Amino acid sequence: MEDTYYSESSELDRDKLRQRIRDYVADQGWRISGEHREESGVLPIVLDGDAERYWQEAGTAVARAGMRALLFHHTTGYSLPDAVRLADLVASAPELSTVALAPAIKAHSLARWDEQGFFRLLNRLMFEAARPAERYRTLQHFYRCSERLIGRFYAGRPGPLDPLRILSGRPPVPLGRALGCLLRGPRRQPVPAAVARRGL
């Protein structure tokens, strides 16, 4: 059982979430026979950023992986698909020294950053352009798309027409503010956005 939602703050009220999951279970008429493990956390999503500058400051003296190599999905905050891609890169590297791997990982990370431009735009549309009460509509529309599209989205590799499919229909975003996000780019001071999820 899992409860995931987007939030503008990183606060997590575990008791409230626990109760929400129990209420859902009760509504379904299910009975919990046991609780084996529980996890909770707050993951970041990305509105925008300067990946080149991040890597300039990080340097390549040590090879990085995971979140510290910016290798995560900018809308879900998940990192498994990017971890697999990085494992492939390392496994096929001709040399496993830091000197060889660190710059290769940096180049891979910057390429992945560029590939995720649509996800950052989607985040800005949800968190900067949409009225807070309407934000859910974008995701509601998304989860009505085909399973294959949803799979490509979670894998962080949307097809060429997927952005159009995801943004099609009557937008839950005032047109002027959406155009502002498209033309102007993000605000200099992005709204702190987080996705929080917990499981029972």
Ligand X SMILES: Cc1cc2nc3c(=O)[nH]c(=O)nc-3n(C[C@H](O)[C@H](O)[C@H](O)COP(=O)(O)OP(=O)(O)OC[C@H]3O[C@@H](n4cnc5c(N)ncnc54)[C@H](O)[C@@H]3O)c2cc1C
- Site residues for ligand X per CB under 6 A: 39-41, 43, 66-67, 72, 78-80, 197
Residue placing its CB nearer to ligand X in the complex, 31 or 143: 143
Q: How far is the CB of 155 from ligand X (least distance, A)?
A: 10
Count of beta carbons in the 10 Å neighbourhood of residue 10: 14
Q: Where are the beta strands (DSSP E) in the chain?
A: 2-7, 39-44, 194-199
Residue placing its CB nearer to ligand X in the complex, 6 or 72: 72
Residue placing its CB nearer to ligand X in the complex, 67 or 111: 67
Q: How far is the CB of 44 from ligand X (least distance, A)?
A: 9
Q: How far is the CB of 79 from ligand X (least distance, A)?
A: 3
CA distance 58 to 69: 9
Q: How far is the CB of 198 from ligand X (least distance, A)?
A: 6
Among 41, 92, 37, 46, residue whose Cα is nearest residue 71: 46
Q: Where are the beta strands (DSSP E) in 61-128?
A: none
Residue placing its CB nearer to ligand X in the complex, 22 or 68: 68
Residue placing its CB nearer to ligand X in the complex, 135 or 197: 197
Order of all β-strands in the sheet with 2-7 = 2-7, 194-199, 39-44
72 touches 79 (CB < 8 A): yes
Locate 91 and state its tokens: 């496994």
Q: Which single residue is written with the structure tokens 């040399």?
A: 95
Q: How far is the CB of 39 from ligand X (least distance, A)?
A: 4
